[in-house]
Structure 1
């Protein structure tokens, strides 16, 4: 599994305070855990991504994206689906 990437996030004071209170009420260890779960929900659930990939599958996907980007061979989702479903 790849090493987690650290990001910095600035929030308006009232949002940070509300997030801290929400995290305490709903049992999150901290705001970072709340933020990570919120991002995960937006990325995987709202966009209908399948979150059931294994770590090995995720690494393979990451490698494919990295190689495709380096070789400038990225294709549309439609073309990728057509190729995979043949």
Structure 2
């Protein structure tokens, strides 16, 4: 028996195929995801896209995604920065 099959953790099933979720994204959002610095889930990227009205104003939605990603990267540098 394989090691990872002996886990005692409760298994969770995905609700949908991750590739189908990615394929259903608008083209500008998929293009942004291919160039993103961090690994985004299709659901979280789409949530920000919809909140900022990406279908009406893709440039504003891309700008917001960039801002969120930069904030996350800044937060990450604080975690990994050497303590003085």
State TM-score, norm by structure 1: 0.30
- The TM-score with structure 2 as length reference comes to 0.30
